[in-house]
Chain A
Amino acid sequence: MLVMINIAQLWILAATVEAALARRYSVLLPLVISSAVCFAITLSIIKWWRPASRRKTSSGYVRDNSE
């Protein structure tokens, strides 16, 4: 998922460069917002995603079979 988001952001960056060179300024803001949304999703996944085999404890995430 993160790799796919990175690829999408790469496309957005390429589109931004092309729009800037073509002086199509009206599409720049939507492109930046799109990239920001992708970055926010990436951060959310990194911060909150944990493997299903882990569970949260007071000292952090541990494997279910560790106790």
Chain B
Amino acid sequence: MSKIISDEHDVHAATAPYQADFPYERDEEAQVTRREFCNFLGLTSAALFVGTGGFAAKAALDARTTESFSAAHVAGAETLAPNSALNFNYPAANDSAILIRTADGAYHAYGQKCTHLSCPVYYSPDHQRLECPCHEGAFDASTGAVLYGPPPRPLDVIEVETREGQVWAVSRKPAAEENGS
């Protein structure tokens, strides 16, 4: 019956025959000096600083480049009943979006990812607002602004136009940018 290595004494006993070939002591390997710990924290601090700078640099770079969008027809929008919504993708096939036709007949479209943790938002006809089921956040159906809950910023706004009776998505931009904040 094989012996189960259960405590430090047994580990030492089990590894003793191999100490000549692998002269490593567990106690010494596990020992971390105060100076080593401080150096580790210093490296962590450097990594966090580099990460912060990198994120800021990338954001500043992205701000200088203007993204161009091509218009896309939103299929099925013409037959959408007031106070209802449909899903579509814009600008890319994997960018989910939601088109809302409010009770007054106006069209509004938003990126479907909640700005909290990217859960898909859905339109609630009863409350006439966009709701996130994950953490109970809600957005205004007409502006995309946060009504309540944990989302920190409004939904991305997709501009829509009606051309010859058809609804077209023409651009997508963050609501914060649109509001000038």
User: Which A residues lie at the B interface, using CB under 8 A?
Assistant: 2-3, 5-6, 9-10, 12-13, 16-25, 28-29, 31-32, 35-36, 38-39, 42-43, 45-46, 49, 51
Contact = CB atoms under 8 A, between A and B. Distances in A.
B52 interface: yes
A13 B56 CA distance: 9
Contacts of B53: 32, 35-36
A20 B48 contact: no
Contact of A38 (B45, B63, B152, B181): B45
B24 interface: no
B55 A3 contact: no
Interface string B25-54: 000000000100011011011101101110
- Grouping DSSP codes into helix (H, G, I), strand (E, B) and loop, the B interface class, with mixed when no group exceeds half, is helix
B58 interface: yes
B45 A39 contact: yes
Given A22-B153, A24-B176, A35-B52, A6 B59 contact: no
A23 B56 CA distance: 11
Contact of B55 (A13, A24, A42, A45): A13
A22 B174 contact: yes
Contacts of B59: 19-20, 23, 25, 28
B63 A23 contact: yes
- Which of A5, A9, A17, A45 lies at the interface centre, i.e. has the most chain B CB atoms within 10 A of its CB? A9
A12 B46 CA distance: 13
Interface string B56-100: 101110010000000000000000000000000000000000000
- Which of B52, B55, B59, B60 lies at the interface centre, i.e. has the most chain A CB atoms within 10 A of its CB? B52
Nearest to B39: A46
B42 A13 contact: no
Given A22-B153, A28-B56, A35 B41 contact: no
Contacts of A46: 38-39, 41-42
A10 B48 contact: yes
A2 B41 contact: yes
Nearest to B44: A6
12 contacts: A9-B48, A13-B55, A16-B55, A17-B55, A22-B174, A23-B177, A29-B56, A32-B53, A35-B49, A42-B41, A42-B45, A45-B38
B58 A20 contact: yes
